[in-house]
Amino acid sequence: PRLRAAPRPCPAAGVSQVTVRDALNQALDEELERDERVFLLGEEVAQYDGAYKISRGLWKKYGDKRVIDTPISEMGFTGIAVGAAMAGLRPVCEFMTFNFSMQAIDQVINSAAKTCYMSAGSIAVPIVFRGPNGASAGVAAQHSQCFAAWYGHCPGLKVVSPWSSEDAKGLLKASVRDDNPVVMLENELLYGVPFEMSEQAQSKDFVVPIGKAKIERQGTHVTLVSHSRPVGHCLEAAAVLAKEGVECEVINLRTIRPMDIETVEASVVKTNHLVTVEGGWPQFGVGAEICARIMEGSAFNYLDAPAVRVTGADVPMPYAKILEDNCLPQVKDIIFAVKKTLNI
C-alpha cells in the first residue's frame, strides 16, 4: 500500500502567512495613511522602493513629500528628521543598517533622546529610527554589530527589537504613535521569513505595546530569554530539548528599553533556571543587564543555578562564513548552555 503523508493542520480562520518585510510595509502604509504628519526618509527609500523593499510602493502612493530619498549622509538626514519631529511632524528615519547610525549618534542621543528631559517636557521628539541591526550574512565587521545594548543604555530612548511579523508590525505602529524617540532594531535575515499572523494582527488598529515581553513557549525547567532572530533559535533548541524531557520557557523580549523584567522574574520563579541569548557582544550586553536585574531582585532567591549567558563572540565579526557561524549563537550553543545550567 502507498504511504500517505500526514495531513497538515489547517490554519485557524483568518490566519495567514506574512513575511516580516510585508508586515513592516503594511505598518508604514497604514500609519502614513492614518496621520499626515508621518513621513519616511532615508537612502533609496522612495524611487528604488527601499534597499530591502520595506518601503515598496509607498513613494508611488504618497509622493515626494511623504517618502523622501536622502543623500548618503546619516548625520545630515537624521538631523533634518529630529528637527522635523521637534517642529511637530512624526518622521520615520531609516538607516540602511544600524552600523551607519554611528554617523548620526550625536543626533540620536544628544538631539533626540535628551531633549524632552532638558526642556522640562515642553519639547517632544516623536521620531522612529529604524532599519536592520546586527549580523546579516557575509558582510564582515563594519555591517554586523548589534546596537541593542548601546541604545538600550541611553535614557530618553525607547528601544524595540522584533522577531516575528506580528512583532514587526505591531511594534512599528506603536513606535510611530509614541511621543518619544524610538529605536527599532530589525533583522535583515528575518525580512523574507513568513510567520502566521491572525486577522486581528493584520487589522489597522493592531499595535504591540512597547515594554511588554511575550512568552512564545511555556515551560517548567528553564527560562530562555532572547530578542530578535535568536528567539527562533531558542524555540528550535526548546523543541530538541523537549524530546529529552526538558521543557524550556521561551521569552521574546520584544522591547529592550523599557525592559519587561517582571515577565522574566515570574518565569524564573517558576523554572528556577535562567539562560539569556543574544547576537551582540558579551560585555555590558542585554543578557548582562537581565542577569543583574534578576540578581538584584526577589527572583534571585528562586535560582537553583547561576544564570548563563549565550552571546556573540567578543571579536569584530569575521568575513569568512565558518568563522561568522562560530561568532553567532547557534542552536547547539543554547542546548549546551541549558544542559550546563541544569547539570545534565
Per-residue pLDDT reduced to its tens digit, 264-300: 999 999 999 999 999 999 999 999 999 999 999 999 9
Q: Catalogue all structural domains in the chain, each as residue range(s) with its CATH number.
A: 18-202 (3.40.50.970), 214-342 (3.40.50.920)
Alpha helix positions (H), 141-285: 148-152, 165-177, 230-242, 261-271
What angle do the packed helices 230-242 and 331-342 form, to 10 degrees?
60
pLDDT-flagged residues of the chain (< 70): 1-13
Residue 15's pLDDT is 86
In this structure, the number of other CB atoms found within 10 A of the CB of residue 302 comes to 15
Nearest-5° angle of CA 147, CA 292, CA 106? 30
Q: Compute how many other C-beta atoms are within 10 angstroms of the C-beta atom of residue 7.
A: 6
Q: What is the pLDDT of residues 2-13, one digit of tens each?
A: 444 444 455 566
Contact 84, 58 (CB under 8 A): no
Per-residue model confidence (pLDDT) at position 12: 62
Pairing between β-strand 16-19 and β-strand 194-197 as defined by DSSP bridges: antiparallel
Set of cell numbers at residue 183: 529605536
Nearest CA to 312 out of 294, 286, 293 is that of: 286
Greatest CA separation found in the chain?
A: 78
Answer whether 316's CB lies under 8 Å from 141's CB.
Answer: yes
List the grid coordinates of 190. Answer: 528575518
Which residues participate in catalysis according to the annotation? 74, 143
Please check whether residue 152 is in contact with residue 160, taking contact to mean a CB–CB distance below 8 angstroms: no
* Grid cell in block for residue 148: 541593542
Q: Which residues contact 230 (CB under 8 A, 6 or more apart)?
A: 277, 278, 279, 310, 329
The Cβ-side half-sphere exposure at 88, using a 13 Å CA radius, reads 1
In terms of phi and psi (left: phi > 0; alpha: psi -120 to 50; beta: otherwise), the region of 42 is left
pTM of the model as a whole: 0.93
Res 13: pLDDT: 62
Q: Residue 2 has what pLDDT? A: 44
